[in-house]
Amino acid sequence: MRATKSTRVKRRVLREAVAENLDVIRGIPPRSVRPGNRFLRIWTRRVLFVAVPLTLVGSTYVISQTTPQPITVAALPLRPVAAPPQVKAVVSASALQTERVTSAAFPLAVRRVVIDAGHGGSDPGATTSEIQEKEITLDIGRRLRALLERDGFEVVVTRDRDHTIALKDRALVANQSKSDIFVSIHVNALAKYTESRGIETYYLGATSDPSLTALAAAENRVSGYSMADMRKLLDGIYADARRDESHELASAVQRKLYASLRKSDPGLENWGVKRAPFVVLVATDMPAILAEVGCISNKKEAALLRKADYRQEIADALFEGIRAYSGANDPQQQKGSEQNG
Amino acid sequence: MGDSILHVGIDLGTSRSAISASNGERFVVDSFVGWPLDMVAKKVLKRDVLIGHEAVSNRTMLDLHRPLERGLLKEGSEKDVEAVRELLKHLLKLVGVNGKVKASDVRAVVGVPAAALRTNKQYLRSSMKGIVDSLLIVSEPFAVAYGLDALLHTMIIDIGAGTTDFCVMKGRYPTEEDQRTLTIAGDSIDTQLLKLTEDRYPQANVTIFMVRDWKENFSFVGDVKERCVVTAPVKGVPTELDITNEIKAACETILPPIIETMIDLLARVEPEFQERVRNNIILSGGGGLIRGLAHELETALKSVGGGSVRYMEDPVFVGSDGGLALAIDAPEGDWEKLTA
């Protein structure tokens, strides 16, 4: 008897494991984050329960409106009201559409880009005796802006000079401009590991890594958000298109940054694409990333970051990453590249 | 077709990767892949790519990659994707694929950390194209539970190098609520042990690879009678170092987060089943070999009514064996749907 129960449980979990994999392949969100299926079933039943009589009444009303002459019921042959197709339409439109529609279903090109040069004003970010993070990020941001505008993108910047701007206001600028993507530029500093140097790109997500929590806390310092605001923002995080798109953008930028910069600095490490709860990523409405484009705590890297040529290389790589992401989403560019290829 | 099919379970780990195959073969390799740095190295090594222990041993001549980070494939790095593909090809070759078995006849189940995102799984799936096309990706602790037939009222704590995964089995495929992943695991012990050893013996020349070996030989929490004595060069002279206190301190850093997560997950189990789960906690993964760990967890469980924690005798292969069991049990019709 126990063996039978065990076999039954095994069959069920295996079936569920396969279903979850098929969901991943098809790009459907995990069952746990989909709109509650139980409620969906209840509401589907309720919609049917309400829709059938309503449709019948509605159809009768339409018939009565289009046939205003007084007629006797007995004079009319009984005709079935076309309820089933209408009921089906009501249900399929409102309740049965549970599968997430991915952005791939309606490819949109990136037109407007927000460039967020990290830190500024009274918040210098990471510093050495010779250079400050706020100067590097502003310079790279300006270079990136020029490249994007030359290529036909519209650009919005959160700061174009050395002044303090709260993270909350950076997000506000981005959201009010209704931009398509948000790119925040930062430079790393690792006090304990001065030998290490690498690049990494973040997108929004929770992390259980204490070092990333510490990094996010440092970068979130001038946020302007209260704890209650933060909780509300975090409650609004959803496992859907925006996170996936941010991940795509982060991957494209990280690939281009690493491929390009390691030519100038072969010892540069690729620290990959990571998730972390930076405020600017949480509070912005569009796909958003935060690129740590270098490591100021490493002497060799700091020397490179002081050079205009190297900062231009970083801006070029960021531009290429944005273009790659934008191209992947732009049907016209895709078509063009297929023809070219 | 049936006879030529090879089912495999793969535990793709940050530190070690294990494979169990339906032809009875089982292997474990270090998750390192290296390419000769230059022509001289290539000539010396006589190989285009080195994998596992061989790669670690010859690391000075190699562009060495550890392609998995916290149990997941590093993203945005083409070299790491290439490395994980080489690692997989190597594992499959060890069990006979491309020798007696064709790649298209392989049905593979791969275990990943419990908290792996959908995007992580998609990335892994696309990276494995051409090597393993029929692929089922499951959470690692679930694979362990399946292999042990512990699918009901059980908690699996799988301590690897990159992550510690928790999973409460409730007779269904675990949801996000049933699982947790901590990045406090074997690697964080290594980092702590290296720091503590350097603090105590500042003149000793110690690397993370040496520390990893020491941990694997001596790791413990609580109290043990014997001393942990290792040899390391001090100003070039091989010298014996007593690192008993450092091992204990480093290993015990993982206790508070593991205990906290274990008790938190237990509290979320339906009240009538909590006692059964408390008495059915299973440790797996390399971290399951830390001496005294089960005892410390049982001591912590006393505050919530007591419980029982047991080790797996074969923690290295318990995940890949579970994957193999899943691969064998999955109907061929499901494999057809899962084929890329």
Measured CA distances, B141 to A7, A50, B31, B165, B295 (Å): 19, 45, 19, 6, 21
Which pLDDT value is given to residue A140? 96
Band the pLDDT of B218: cuts 50, 70, 90: very high
Which of A9, A30, A208 has its CB closest to that of B118? A30
Measured CA distances, B45 to B36, B38, B64, B85 (Å): 8, 11, 14, 21
Provide the shortest C-alpha distance from residue B95 to chain A (in Å). 24
A21–B119 C-beta distance less than 8 A = no
A-contacting residues in B 95-154 (Cβ below 8 Å): 115, 117-119, 121-122, 125, 135-138, 142, 146, 149, 151-152
Reply yes or no on whether the pLDDT at A90 is more than 50.
Answer: no
Distance between CA atoms of A139 and B221, rounded to whole angstroms? 51
Reply yes or no on whether the pLDDT at B103 is more than 50.
Answer: yes
Residue A105 lies in a domain: no
C-alpha count within 13 angstroms, C-beta hemisphere, residue A289 = 28
Q: Which of A98, A120, A145 is the last residue of a domain?
A: A98
**Residue length, chain A?**
341
Q: How many CB atoms lie within 10 A of CB B274?
A: 17
Q: Which of B206, B231, B252 is the last residue of a domain?
A: B252
A272–B77 C-beta distance less than 8 A = yes
Distance between CA atoms of B312 and B318, rounded to whole angstroms? 8
Q: Are residues B227 and B111 in the same domain?
A: no
Which pLDDT value is given to residue B78? 72
Q: Are residues A196 and A335 in the same domain?
A: yes
* Predicted confidence (pLDDT) per residue in A243-298, tens digit: 778 888 999 999 999 999 988 888 888 888 887 777 777 778 888 999 999 999 89
Residue B258 lies in a domain: no
Number of domains, chain B:
2
Band the pLDDT of B68: cuts 50, 70, 90: confident
Reply yes or no on whether the pLDDT at A200 is more than 70.
Answer: yes
Residue A76 lies in a domain: yes
Per-residue exposure over B171-193, b if at least 16 CB sit within 10 Å of its own CB, e if not:
eebbeeebbbbbbbbbbbbbebb
Provide the shortest C-alpha distance from residue B142 to chain A (in Å). 10
Q: Which residues of A touch B329 (CB under 8 A)?
A: 10, 14
Which of A24, A243, A272 has its CB closest to that of B75? A272
- Domain of B56, in residue numbers: 2-144+317-338
Q: Are residues B39 and B137 in the same domain?
A: yes
Q: How far does chain B reach from its first CA to its final CA, in angstroms? A: 18
Residue A104 lies in a domain: no
Our measurement of the distance from residue B129's CA atom to the centroid of its chain's CA atoms, rounded to an integer in Å, reads 22
* Predicted confidence (pLDDT) per residue in B106-124, tens digit: 899 998 877 666 667 777 7
* Predicted confidence (pLDDT) per residue in A175-185, tens digit: 888 888 999 99
Which pLDDT value is given to residue B286? 84
Region A165-177: mean pLDDT is 87
Distance between CA atoms of A72 and B209, rounded to whole angstroms? 95
Reply yes or no on whether the pLDDT at A53 is more than 60.
Answer: no
Q: Are residues B135 and B202 in the same domain?
A: no
Yes or no: say if B215 and B190 are a contact pair by the CB < 8 Å rule: yes
Mean pLDDT of chain B: 87
Region A295-312: mean pLDDT is 91
Report the residue of chain B nearest A243, measured CA to CA. Answer: B119
B78–A24 C-beta distance less than 8 A = no
* Predicted confidence (pLDDT) per residue in A261-273, tens digit: 988 888 888 888 8
Q: Which of B44-58, B104-118, B154-168 has the lowest mean pLDDT?
A: B104-118
Task: Name residues whose C-beta falls within 8 Å of residue A239's C-beta, 6 or more positions apart in sequence.
Answer: A29, A30, A33, B117, B118
Distance between CA atoms of B141 and B155, rounded to whole angstroms? 9
Per-residue exposure over B32-63, b if at least 16 CB sit within 10 Å of its own CB, e if not:
bbbbbeeeebeeebebebbbbebbbebeebbe
Q: Which residues of B touch A16 (CB under 8 A)?
A: 172-173
Mean pLDDT of chain A: 70
Band the pLDDT of B279: cuts 50, 70, 90: very high
Which pLDDT value is given to residue A201? 92
CATH number at residue A287: 3.40.630.40
Q: Which of A66, A98, A130 is the last residue of a domain?
A: A98
Which pLDDT value is given to residue A214? 60
Residue B301 lies in a domain: no
Residue B49 lies in a domain: yes
Residue B29 lies in a domain: yes
Q: Are residues B140 and B202 in the same domain?
A: no
Q: Which of B252, B283, B301 is the last residue of a domain?
A: B252
Q: Which residues of B touch A208 (CB under 8 A)?
A: 115, 181-183
B69–A272 C-beta distance less than 8 A = yes
Which pLDDT value is given to residue B130? 81
Residue B226 lies in a domain: yes
Reply yes or no on whether the pLDDT at A319 is more than 80.
Answer: yes
Q: Are residues A60 and A204 in the same domain?
A: no
Percent of chain B predicted with pLDDT > 90? 42
Q: Are residues A130 and A194 in the same domain?
A: yes
Reply yes or no on whether the pLDDT at A160 is more than 60.
Answer: yes
**The pair of three-digit structure tokens given for residue A34, joined into one six-digit string:** 């989909």
**The pair of three-digit structure tokens given for residue A168, joined into one six-digit string:** 């909350």
Yes or no: say if A298 and A197 are a contact pair by the CB < 8 Å rule: yes
Nearest to A289 by CA among A249, A235, A230, A316: A249
Q: Which of B252, B271, B288 is the last residue of a domain?
A: B252
Q: Are residues A54 and A86 in the same domain?
A: yes
Yes or no: say if B25 and B321 are a contact pair by the CB < 8 Å rule: no
By DSSP bridging, strand B26-30 and strand B16-21 are antiparallel
Nearest to B293 by CA among B302, B305, B306, B282: B282
- Domain of A252, in residue numbers: 112-340
Band the pLDDT of B162: cuts 50, 70, 90: confident
Region A101-121: mean pLDDT is 70
Q: What is the CA radius of gyration of chain B?
A: 21
Q: Are residues B135 and B238 in the same domain?
A: no
Residue A155 lies in a domain: yes
Band the pLDDT of A56: cuts 50, 70, 90: very low
Yes or no: say if A255 and A199 are a contact pair by the CB < 8 Å rule: no
Q: Are residues B6 and B130 in the same domain?
A: yes
Q: Are residues A117 and A88 in the same domain?
A: no
A18–B136 C-beta distance less than 8 A = yes
Region B151-174: mean pLDDT is 89
Residue B207 lies in a domain: yes
B-contacting residues in A 2-31 (Cβ below 8 Å): 6, 9-10, 12-14, 16-22, 24-25, 27, 29-31
Report the residue of chain A nearest B338, measured CA to CA. Answer: A22
Distance between CA atoms of B329 and B322, rounded to whole angstroms? 11
Residue B83 lies in a domain: yes
Q: Are residues B139 and B191 in the same domain?
A: no
Q: Are residues B14 and B135 in the same domain?
A: yes
Nearest to B62 by CA among B74, B48, B75: B48
Q: Are residues B14 and B113 in the same domain?
A: yes
Q: Are residues A167 and A296 in the same domain?
A: yes
Nearest to A260 by CA among A323, A172, A176, A177: A323
Task: Name residues whose C-beta falls within 8 Å of residue A140's C-beta, 6 or more positions apart in sequence.
Answer: A117, A185, A293, A311, A314, A315, A318
Q: Are residues A138 and A240 in the same domain?
A: yes
pTM of the model: 0.55
| Greater pLDDT, A329 or B27 | B27
Q: Are residues A222 and A254 in the same domain?
A: yes
Distance between CA atoms of A115 and A144, rounded to whole angstroms? 8
A276 bridge partner residues: A204
Number of domains, chain A:
2
Measured CA distances, B202 to A13, A89, B166, B234, B235 (Å): 52, 75, 37, 9, 10
ipTM entry: 0.80
Band the pLDDT of B290: cuts 50, 70, 90: very high
Band the pLDDT of A217: cuts 50, 70, 90: low
Q: How far does chain A reach from its first CA to its final CA, in angstroms? A: 62
By DSSP bridging, strand B152-159 and strand B50-51 are unpaired
CATH number at residue B71: 3.30.420.40
Q: Are residues B138 and B246 in the same domain?
A: no
Q: Which of A73, A98, A123 is the last residue of a domain?
A: A98
Q: Are residues B201 and B333 in the same domain?
A: no
A259–B118 C-beta distance less than 8 A = no
Choose the mutation target among B65, B69, B73, B75 for the interface with A, i.e. most A CBs under 10 Å.
B75
Distance between CA atoms of B147 and B321, rounded to whole angstroms? 6
Q: Are residues B14 and B127 in the same domain?
A: yes
Percent of chain B predicted with pLDDT > 70? 94
**The pair of three-digit structure tokens given for residue A137, joined into one six-digit string:** 């990020």
A270–B77 C-beta distance less than 8 A = yes
* Predicted confidence (pLDDT) per residue in B305-339, tens digit: 999 999 887 778 899 999 999 999 998 888 888 87
Provide the shortest C-alpha distance from residue B241 to chain A (in Å). 25
Q: How many residue contacts between A and B have a Cβ separation below 8 Å?
A: 103
A255–B183 C-beta distance less than 8 A = no
Report the residue of chain A nearest B138, measured CA to CA. Answer: A17
Yes or no: say if B279 and B269 are a contact pair by the CB < 8 Å rule: no
Measured CA distances, B212 to A196, A219, B147, B207, B215 (Å): 20, 33, 28, 9, 5
Residue B151 lies in a domain: no
